[in-house]
């Protein structure tokens, strides 16, 4: 496999992998492109290289920068905003883990805490509370595991 093919495969794979971490496919592809780019890229270059629309590129570049996965670079005299990836894998893992926790575990814990005090027939409520307690226990353990993982970075 030559460099161009390998680069394309990496971009495709990282795009698909990104979905596992709570980011969309195009966002993952842009991030992969930026990881393997030797220079900063502007929106137009990202659009051309990935064959995506201006709006799609703009929205996802901004989201990646907001997450801290891309750095914005301003060049005096140039109206374009350029982006460069943070290539520290530990930093990337921490950001993606934080994002996954924020989108996946935190809402579950909040929802489960609101469901603890239900009223109804005693037999129904007892079984419901047991299920909520068991799911809450698992979610809480997952949250603590992710917190420890984040502390390790």
CB atoms within 10 A of CB 28: 23
Task: Please tell me the least confidently modeled range out of 5-9, 34-38, 61-65, 99-103.
Answer: 99-103
Residue 123 in this model has a pLDDT that exceeds 80: no
Residue 106 in this model has a pLDDT that exceeds 70: yes
Q: Could you give the C-alpha distances from 140 to 22, 66, 73, in angstroms and in order?
A: 19, 27, 39
CB atoms within 10 A of CB 83: 25
**pLDDT score, position 115:** 78
Confidence of residue 103 (pLDDT cuts 50, 70, 90): confident
pTM of the entire predicted model: 0.77
pLDDT in tens, 57-71: 999 999 999 999 999
């Amino acid at each position: 496999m030559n460099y161009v093919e390998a680069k394309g495969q990496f971009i495709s794979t990282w795009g698909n992998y990104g979905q596992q971490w709570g980011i969309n496919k195009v966002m993952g592809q842009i991030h992969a492109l930026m990881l393997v780019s030797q220079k900063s890229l502007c929106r137009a270059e990202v659009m051309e290289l990935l064959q995506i629309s201006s709006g799609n590129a703009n929205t996802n570049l901004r989201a990646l920068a907001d997450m801290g996965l891309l750095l914005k670079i301003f060049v005096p005299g140039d109206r374009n905003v350029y982006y460069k990836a943070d290539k520290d894998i530990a930093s990337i893992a921490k950001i993606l883990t934080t994002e996954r926790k924020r989108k996946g575990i935190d809402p579950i814990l909040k929802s489960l805490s609101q469901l603890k005090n239900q009223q109804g027939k005693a037999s129904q409520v007892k079984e419901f509370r047991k299920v909520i307690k068991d799911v809450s226990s698992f979610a809480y353990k997952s949250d603590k595991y992710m917190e420890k993982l984040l502390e390790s970075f």
